[in-house]
Structure 1
């Protein structure tokens, strides 16, 4: 019973909305265009404010994320099979440039890893518990 009541209320509200929309279009045909333009402008302003605010908030983290995503995309694009791989002697100019850039990057990049010395050689004195 409740479901029927809810469906009928929704139908009545939608029907009244359609009647109101049609009557306003009949009185003032440019009314709909004005309303769409106003709401679109307001939505655009809110979106731009949001973008500026989020750009300031994200700052360095977001730019680092974009850089890492771009590198990951390049890596997976390089792994994708290409029609030229069937004949290994044939290479395009772009592939030759990529291989030169990749080899140059591998030589110049420094890893930022450090070795932490542990105590693997020392035995625990179990009698001191």
Structure 2
């Protein structure tokens, strides 16, 4: 019963908010543009303050940032691939591919012979 009351209150609150927003847009259409611009400026100022002053002064932020930059540099070196692409022409198409660098060998065994189950 309590869940239904909470759900009805939430739906009613959202409905009133939507109705109020629509009335506000109908009566003053430039309000929405001003609201969006002011909100964007406030978010930009908050982001600037957080990144320049608050997070830089934090000692853990500097350590984590330096560790991340170092790991990224090492990762780039490790996974950097050289641009060695074989060129395709008719002569290369006829030739067979070279053997792979995985040094695998085939061990000959009793592949074709079936076990005699009566003896074993």
Compute the displacement of 1:60 (Å): 5.2
Q: CA separation in 1, counterparts of 2:29 and 2:63?
A: 49
The residue that corresponds to 1:46 in the other structure is 46
1:49-90 per-position Cα deviation (integer Å, ceiling 9, x unaligned):
000021243475355324312223213423x69773898xxx
Q: Which residue of 2 aligns with 1:84?
A: 85
Match of 2:19 in 1: 19
* Distance (whole Å) between structure 2 residues aligned to residue 5 and residue 60 of structure 1: 48
Partner SS for 1:84: coil
In our comparison, the structure showing a higher alpha carbon Rg is 2
Superposition RMSD in Å: 2.9
Checking the alignment, whether the CA contact within 8 Å between 2:56 and 2:62 is kept in structure 1 is no
The TM-score normalised by the length of structure 1 is 0.55
**Aligned partners of 1:9 and 1:61: how far apart in 2?**
47
2: CA distance between counterparts of 1:63 and 1:4? 48
TM-superposed CA distance for 1:36, in Å, is: 1.2
The answer for the alignment partner of 1:2 in structure 2 is 2
Name stretches of at least 5 consecutive residues in structure 2 with no aligned partner. 87-96, 99-120
Alpha-carbon distance between aligned partners in 1 of 2:17 and 2:63, rounded to the nearest angstrom: 46
